[in-house]
Amino acid sequence: MGTDGKVMGKRCALALFCFALFIAFDPAFAQIEAGSEKDKTSMRKPSPSRAARPFAWKTNIVTTVFWIGEKPGGNNLVPNRTSAWDKQWTKNYGGFDDPDPANRRNYVPVKFKPRQNPFYCALPYNDKAHTGHRPEAPRVVPWFQAAYQGPAVSTCKDRWVAIRKGNRIAYAQWEDAGPFRTDHWQYVFGNERPKPNLNKGAGLDVSPAVRDYLGLKPTDVTDWRFVEFSQVPHGPWSTLGENNTFVTNPRKKGVQVTERSNQTRAGAIAR
């Protein structure tokens, strides 16, 4: 090796020695590349919210019409003065939700203004037991943990449902359990079909407002699926009701703004 080669070798050795000292005094430098690869990996993974698939449509479901205040008769075996989750349903609604088209206008009865959303429906599952919730509810109700408010409160009540007939879609809130069954979670949340019953295997009850919006016959066939509130467009289902998310959310925001304003004023006075 010539003189130039020896000089070059010494320079390389010196550079490697300095690099080793740099890493020794700054270990984070050695982790940069590993961190970069980790970041690339995490970026490739979709977030849980994006990865979540929307609820699938339940198609060709026999659909019947029911109404608040309905008396027992025909294949309706129980009165609808109460619901699975409201012992004073008729009173809280504001009265008898008369299904006669002659006594309705703009999807509501002409005799009174409903105090709850007139776009409601029933599905054959009740997450509540006599005390607390059914044992399978935390496992089968997809939103159970997010919606849980204690053992006395249903996680299913007021949930939004899209109901489709042809090219029209109505949106309603889940307010009762039925028709006929209250335990068929395998259909409501799974892939089973509705069980046979007196109403041709009906798996969905809808209110007169839903009937009128979709143009349904007393017994008809529709598709339905659960939807998040953020997916529900404005429409006749978004205007009325103390249980209606469209009505309650702005009020909650108003209360929060008022509280923050009061806190700000109190802080300013204290200073």
Nearest to 56 by CA among 164, 157, 197, 183: 164
Classify strands 160-165 and 120-123 as parallel, antiparallel or unpaired.
Answer: unpaired
Read off the pTM: 0.75
3-state secondary structure (DSSP) of residue 223: strand
3-state secondary structure (DSSP) of residue 62: strand
pLDDT of amino acid 269: 53
∠ Cα 98 165 242 (to 5°): 45
Please give the biggest Cα pair distance in the chain: 110
Burial of 191 (0-12, 13-18, 19+ CB in 10 A): exposed
pLDDT of amino acid 41: 34
Q: Which two tokens stand for residue 190?
A: 């799974």
pLDDT of amino acid 258: 40
C-alpha span between 237 and 220 (Å, rounded): 21
Ramachandran sector of residue 132 (left: φ over 0; alpha: ψ -120 to 50; beta: rest) = left
pLDDT of amino acid 134: 98
pLDDT of amino acid 234: 98
pLDDT of amino acid 260: 52
Q: DSSP labels for 67-122?
A: -TTPPPBTTB-S-SSS-SS-TTHHHHHTS-----GGGEETTEESS---SS-S-EEE
Over its length of 271 residues, how does the chain's per-residue pLDDT go in tens digits?
554 544 444 454 545 454 454 444 444 433 433 333 333 333 333 333 333 468 999 999 999 999 999 988 777 767 789 999 999 999 999 999 999 999 999 999 999 999 999 999 999 999 999 999 999 999 999 999 999 999 999 999 999 999 999 999 999 999 999 999 999 999 999 999 999 999 999 999 999 999 999 999 999 999 999 999 999 999 999 999 999 999 999 877 644 434 454 455 545 555 5
C-alpha span between 64 and 211 (Å, rounded): 9
